[in-house]
Every structure is written in C-alpha cells, then in structure tokens.
Amino acid sequence: MLKQLRGQVGMVFQYPEYQLFASTVEADVAFGPQNMKLSKEEIDERTREAIASVGLDFDEVSGKSPFELSGGEKRRVALAGVLAMRPSVLVLDEPTAGLDPRGREVILSLVRTYRDQTGSTVILVSHSMEDVAKTADKVLVLNHSHVAMFGTVPEVYSRTDELEEMGLTVPQITKIFRALHDRGFDVSPSVFTVSQGADELMRYFERRGMV
C-alpha cells in the first residue's frame, strides 16, 4: 500500500542539483519510469514526452550531462524526471528559487499546464506570495508548524496584517490597488498579480471612456 502511494506522489526539490545524478539528461529523466518496471518502449515514450513538456529539445539535450546546463534548464530537467512518472500528486519545494523573472514564469507556466492537462493535485511550497497568487486555487499558511490560515487566495490575502505579523506580505501590486481603493478610486482591492492589475486598470479607464 505504501509503495503504491509513493508511486503516485512526485517531488521536485528546491535545488535541482540535489536531484540530478545521471550522466545524461535522458538517463536522468528515464530513471523514474525504469524503477516503475515499465517496458522499454513506454520508458522511451515517457522520457521524450516529459523532456518536451518542459520546453526542451530532446535531440539537443538528451545526450548532455545535466550538470552542463543552466540553472533554469536544470530545474526543467528535474521537473521532467518527476513528470515522466506521471504522478497524481506533484509537490514542488520553492520551484522558482534563484531564477530570474522570465525563468520563474516559465516554471510556473509548466506547472499550471501540467495541472490543467492532467487534473493532478499540485502542492506548491513557497514564500513568494506572487508565485502563490499566480498558481494556487487554495492557500494554506503555516506558522510555527500550525495551520494559521486556509482558504482561497482572496480570503487569505485579505488578512494582510496577520500575514505580515508572520513575516509574510501580500504582493506589491495588491498593496498598490488597496491604496488606490482606500483613496477613493473605483478599483478592486482584490488584485494579486500584475496581469490582474493591468486588466483592472483597463476596466477603470473603460468605465470612464478614456480608452
């Protein structure tokens, strides 16, 4: 029973170099499916599919050492190695740590796509409230090993003072729109991402016939 459960859960570590070990990218990604005792044909299919799903070219990277890759590429290969096992629960520990803004968005986009296409449960462990707002449906906040909050993004992020007392803070874009709302501007205070902010500003200008 425990072995079956383990086979349904995949985890990507915060530091991909701790997770990569094989001499080539192909061997690294294929390791999980091999341990699942799949046929050679299915192992090859899953390996190619997983590498492609993280935006890497199989022919270009399969024969390379994973340690020759950039930080962002290592992160993608580590993710591919887990996706190749097609877990029903995917756990990611600070998956965007150390990446530049573009690299962060690439990883989060891959995670969202996997969730939407497979219906799998994704557990994102992160201190980045922006990343959480972009990705999560529900948010669980832990404080000293106890559940402090649980709810939707708007429900949790509305408790700004409590979050800040725990060393967390809502995204900067949220603070801006709450300040605008408090000053009498007809904008929603429940804005948590830059794209939401752009949409809200467009609605504000449209309501005033300014666009």
Paired tokens of 208: 């005033």
The rounded distance, in Å, linking the Cα atoms of 183 and 192 is: 18
At 18 the pLDDT is 83
Q: What are phi and psi of 92, to 5 degrees?
A: -125, 125
CB-CB contact of 50 with 84 (8 Å): yes
At 188 the pLDDT is 93
What is the number of other CB atoms lying within 10 angstroms of the CB of residue 134? 22
Dihedral of CA atoms 202, 207, 210, 211 in degrees, nearest 10, equals 50
Mean pLDDT by 10 residues, the chain (211 residues): 75 85 96 93 96 94 94 90 94 88 88 91 93 93 95 92 90 93 93 93 91 71
∠ at Cα 90 (84, 94), nearest 5°?
110
Count, residues in the chain: 211
The rounded distance, in Å, linking the Cα atoms of 103 and 106 is: 5
∠ at Cα 71 (69, 72), nearest 5°?
95
